Amino acid sequence: MFELFFSAAGAGMCIALMMLILKDFYHSIAARVFLVLIGCAFVHMCHNWLPDSLSSYAYMVESAAPAFFWMSCRLIFQEGYRLPRIGLVIAIYSFTAPVLKHLITLYLDMTPSWVEFLGREIQQYCEYALVIMGMLTLFRGQDDDLVESRRRLRWAIMGASGLSLGWAIFSFNLHFGSATSRILAIDISILIIIWSLFKGRSDIWGIDSFIVKTASLDGIKELKATSDDNQVGDVSMEDAITLLEEGKESEELVQVKAIMTQGFYRQEKLTLRDLAVELGLPEYKVRRVINKELGYRNFNEFINEYRINEAALRLLTEPETPISNIALDVGYRTLSSFNRAFRKEKETTPTAYRDSE
């Protein structure tokens, strides 16, 4: 009785959440991936009440949940970074293996032991790995995240999703816990997600952020005409326009720009906390200045722009200086990390950039 009640409630909440995402956030890639994750949760809610002929197909849909959970974590909290190849391989295998297992079983009218091993046992380990990888993503980069609302929602949204998904998968595969407990855990996580999204936290999807460094007054006014909530990220539209019209910079921003101009960004392993200590300001103020007044969403992105701009200039003006020396001088510990950052910023390699001039 309880299982049916929780399943029906959860299915209804999944529909409400999918409609909310479709209405307000569908143009975000991260939101689309998260939408698929919610769809997998909806199928899970309905699984036990489906005809036996559809049960295997429902399982194949549900098996995609860990992959889309991991991809959601990466796209939301590590935006701007490519999905790692090894993770993509694990993700693709996790939801294609059950499909191939089903097709082979239909073709042979039996399930060979090697098919069961590859399509079920190995696939389960891939699911565990994806859930763990997704949770690790929540830990990594938290200190560098400049979007305060996203920092607060990191655990409210994805933490709840990860814990409920982890409980559902581990308890089902390892045969402990009840079906009712798994459905209840998912219900609670969906409630948390719906509450969070109704709080208007559109900036978690990486949209409508106030990018002062590339914005213009006309651009902000144009955005105002298409904005439903009269907000640009966490900044009211009126405040955004006023800031651009007056061209004012806060005292904290002046301090940040001054110390960065002096080359503070060249320090290895530089963190937001290091910058705050050097400035003698609370960490939250420095984070707010870089995010709200400069438009950066990640501290490494902010630091890398300074580093890569200096490196690019030196590549052209110092043709005899080894690239590795320049990389070390601007703050990178290894040449590989410098190459990755340079390619991300300039869309080419340091060598090709130097040769192009």
pLDDT of residue 350: 92
Going from the C-alpha of 207 to that of each of 28, 79, 168, the distances in angstroms are 7, 11, 31
Residues 58 and 156 placed together within one structural domain of the fold: yes
Going from the C-alpha of 265 to that of each of 174, 222, 275, the distances in angstroms are 49, 35, 9
Helix (H) or strand (E) holding 167: helix 160-173
Residue-range definition of the domain harbouring residue 233: 208-248
Residues 223 and 318 placed together within one structural domain of the fold: no
> What is the rounded CA–CA span in Å between residue 128 and residue 115?
19
Residues 107 and 228 placed together within one structural domain of the fold: no
Residues 200 and 227 placed together within one structural domain of the fold: no
pLDDT of residue 215: 42
pLDDT of residue 94: 92
pLDDT of residue 209: 44
Q: Tell me the mean pLDDT per 10 residues along the chain, length 357.
A: 77 83 77 87 82 84 88 81 88 92 88 89 89 83 76 70 73 73 76 64 51 41 43 48 57 89 90 92 89 85 92 91 92 90 89 84
Residues 17 and 152 placed together within one structural domain of the fold: yes
pLDDT of residue 221: 41
Residues 25 and 64 placed together within one structural domain of the fold: yes
Residues 215 and 129 placed together within one structural domain of the fold: no
pLDDT of residue 1: 64
* Domain CATH code at residue 304: 1.10.10.60
Which of 219, 248, 277 is the C-terminal boundary of a domain? 248
Number of domains within the chain: 3
> What is the rounded CA–CA span in Å between residue 268 and residue 255?
20
Residues 281 and 331 placed together within one structural domain of the fold: yes
* Domain CATH code at residue 42: 1.20.1070
Residues 43 and 118 placed together within one structural domain of the fold: yes
pTM score > 0.75 for this model? no
Residues 216 and 306 placed together within one structural domain of the fold: no
Residues 58 and 198 placed together within one structural domain of the fold: yes
pLDDT of residue 7: 81
Residues 157 and 24 placed together within one structural domain of the fold: yes
pLDDT of residue 260: 92
SS (H, E, C) 82-103: CCCHHHHHHHHHHHHHHHHHHH
Per-residue buried b or exposed e for 42-52, using 16+ beta carbons within 10 Å of the residue's own CB: bbbbebeeeee
Which of 220, 248, 276 is the C-terminal boundary of a domain? 248
